Every structure is written in C-alpha cells, then in structure tokens.
C-alpha cells in the first residue's frame, strides 16, 4: 500500500550508540523519502539530544523500553503508539522487543510496517539478515520498503561546546563501549590505547 506523502511516520531505534550512529544514513533516507510527513523517533533517553540535533525528526519519544513487568509502561507505550496516527513504521531495531510493538496496535489494524514482525506489510525477508553488517542490513530492509538510496552515516551536524576541556589543535575522541551481553562484539581494550598512539 502506498503511503500518502504527508502521513505520520514512526522510526524505531532504541540504541545502542554505535548502532544509532550507523542508522544515521537510514534516518536521512527516511526523512528524504517522507519529506512532508511528520516523522517521529521512538528511542531511549540517552539518544534524545543526539536525535534532536540531527534534524531528521519532528518528534522524539523516549520510553521505548519498558521492563518486562512494567505493566504501566507497556500500557503507556501502547496508548502512545495507537494515538500517533502512523501510516508507516520503520523498525530499525528489528529485535523481538520492537517487533512486539507491532502487536500493540491490536485490535486496530497495524500501520504499514517495515521490519521483522510476523505478518508485517514490508518484511525484511532475507533469511540471512542476522549475518549481514548493520548498515547493509538496514539498506536492504529499506529497499524492500521502497527506499532505494541510503547515504553513508554523516554526523557532521553534531556539535557541542568543548571549551571546558583543555584541548588545542587537532584531536580525536575515542568512545569505547559495548553491550555487556555481547562480549563477542567488543574490541579488546588494549587496542584503544594502540589506536590513540
């Protein structure tokens, strides 16, 4: 189903920082594709400022990760999703959690949905998707939803007042980190020291 150009769009990207930065290209492509739509991002609090500064979104919603037993949080999220008037959802998180959000629209019909939620209108139907690099996976997902050109991530708009730090000349910021539950994705700590040299 074609989405009216001015319909509301929801993008889901809950985190983490590296994944959020890698999604800047898809964010830009979605914004360009839906230039006249109201585009809302559902994320978590640590990424709110970054998302606002990007200029890709008209609204930023946090609270996208209620705890399993947080009934009030789930009901609030369901109410918010159902009242958003969304014609299209791009689930860039593509997790079991974010796919469950598709079910929160019941008993009303869910909006057009790009992701991996069972029964969604624009599934990322590649059985090898879990073995793809994040940027390639999201580009393919969006292509299957009708967005063909995805730019590389460009954080050149990201600015902050750094005058409180005693820095001069050229410098680079290293931000090591990694999910506690994904030790295989972590780069060895000693490599950061070598990189800094």
Query: Domain 8-144 belongs to what architecture?
Result: 3-Layer(aba) Sandwich (3.40)
Q: Is the pLDDT of residue 135 over 50?
A: yes
pLDDT of residue 173: 82
Domain boundaries, the chain: 8-144
Higher pLDDT: 5 or 16? It is 16
Cα–Cα distance for residue pair 87/8, rounded to 1 Å = 6
| pLDDT > 90: percent of the chain | 71
pLDDT computed for residue 40 by the predictor: 98
pLDDT, one tens digit per residue, over 19-35 is 999 999 999 999 999 99
CA-to-CA distance for 197 and 188, rounded, in angstroms? 15
Average pLDDT over residues 122-148: 94
From CA 196, how far away is CA 167, in angstroms rounded? 15
pLDDT digits 0-9 by tens, 67-110: 889 999 999 999 999 999 999 999 999 999 999 999 999 999 99
pTM for the whole structure: 0.88
Rounded to 10 degrees, what is the CA torsion of 67, 182, 47, 144? -100
Query: HSE (CB half, 13 Å, CA atoms) of 119?
Result: 9
DSSP annotation string for 1-26: -PPPTTSEEEEE----HHHHHHTHHH
Residues 137, 111: contact at Cβ < 8 Å? no
């Amino acid at each position: 189903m074609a989405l009216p150009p001015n319909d509301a769009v929801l993008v889901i990207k809950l985190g983490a920082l590296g994944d959020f930065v890698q999604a800047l290209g898809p964010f830009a492509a979605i914004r360009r594709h839906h230039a006249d739509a109201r585009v809302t991002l559902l994320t978590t609090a640590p990424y709110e400022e970054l998302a606002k500064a990007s200029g890709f979104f008209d609204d930023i919603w946090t609270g996208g990760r209620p705890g399993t037993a947080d009934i009030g949080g789930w009901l609030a999220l369901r109410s918010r999703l159902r009242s958003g008037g969304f014609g299209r959802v791009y689930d860039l998180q593509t997790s079991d959690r974010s796919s469950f959000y598709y079910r929160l629209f019941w008993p009303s019909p869910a909006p057009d949905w790009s992701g991996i939620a069972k029964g969604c209108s624009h599934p990322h139907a590649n059985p090898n998707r879990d073995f793809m690099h994040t940027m390639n996976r999201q580009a393919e997902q969006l292509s299957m939803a009708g967005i063909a050109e995805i730019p590389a991530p460009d954080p050149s708009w990201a600015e902050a007042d750094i005058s409180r730090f005693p820095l001069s000349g050229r410098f680079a910021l290293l931000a090591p980190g990694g999910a506690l539950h994904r030790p295989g994705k972590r780069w060895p700590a000693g490599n950061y020291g070598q990189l800094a040299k």
